[in-house]
Amino acid sequence: MNFHHIQSIVSNWSGGSTTQLYIYPANATLQELNFDIRISTAVIEVESSDFTKFKGYQRLIFPLEGMLTLQHDQNKAYQLQPFELATFNGESDTTGQGKVIDFNVIFKPSISPHVTIKELSNQEEYQFELNKGLVYCVNGCVEIAGEIVSEKNAFFGTDIQQKIKTDQNTLLIIVKW
């Protein structure tokens, strides 16, 4: 069993900022496009933005706060409510409308990430299983594998199976692959 806190990396882009929560392999970089999977959040501070193209990758995105309208390759636009997921080709010419905070997973097609959004009520128990993946705490706090996962923190884990319980309302994003 392995479960540890991930140091996030914040960088700016033309429309706001992005916080890299996880990248694999560990020595990979976004600029070199030599990663298999990258998980991040982004603050979009402009009303209209052009998404960076990622040739050879798929993207999964959803708003954490605010509504986001996406349009790919000049096709019909669609709106995402908070925590409503969209998956699309990273090579698409994608534009976004809306000032939001979003959650992003960029991955090679050989990886099949699965996202679970789990809201735990006070004193609720949850059977937590993670073969390999990331846990991001949107709000609240919970203990998993002896580690405290608190608001806006990400943890990477492997081979974890246990019941967890929180003493407050907590919202978790779990990405498994």
Is residue 167 within 8 Å of residue 123, measured between CB atoms?
A: yes
- Per-position pLDDT tens, the chain of length 177: 899 999 999 999 888 999 999 999 999 999 999 999 999 999 999 999 999 999 999 999 999 999 999 999 999 999 999 999 999 999 999 999 999 999 999 999 999 999 999 999 998 999 989 999 999 999 999 999 999 999 999 999 999 999 998 989 999 999 999
- Which residue from 80, 66, 136, 77 is spatially nearest to 105, judged by alpha carbons? 136
pTM of structure:
0.94
Is residue 71 within 8 Å of residue 37, measured between CB atoms?
A: no
3-state secondary structure (DSSP) of residue 65: strand
Give the full edge-to-edge strand order of the sheet including 48-50: 48-50, 94-97, 68-72, 78-80
3-state secondary structure (DSSP) of residue 55: coil
Q: Mind listing the pLDDT tens digit for each residue in 41-86? A: 999 999 999 999 999 999 999 999 999 999 999 999 999 999 999 9
Sorted by where each begins, the domain ranges of the chain are 8-107, 114-176
Where are the extended beta strands (E) located within the chain?
2-5, 9-13, 16-24, 37-44, 48-50, 58-65, 68-72, 78-80, 86-89, 94-97, 100-107, 114-120, 125-139, 141-144, 147-150, 154-165, 170-176
Same fold, 8-107 and 114-176: yes
For 114-176, which CATH class? mainly beta
Distance from C-alpha of 90 to C-alpha of 88, rounded to nearest angstrom: 6
CATH number of 8-107: 2.60.120.10
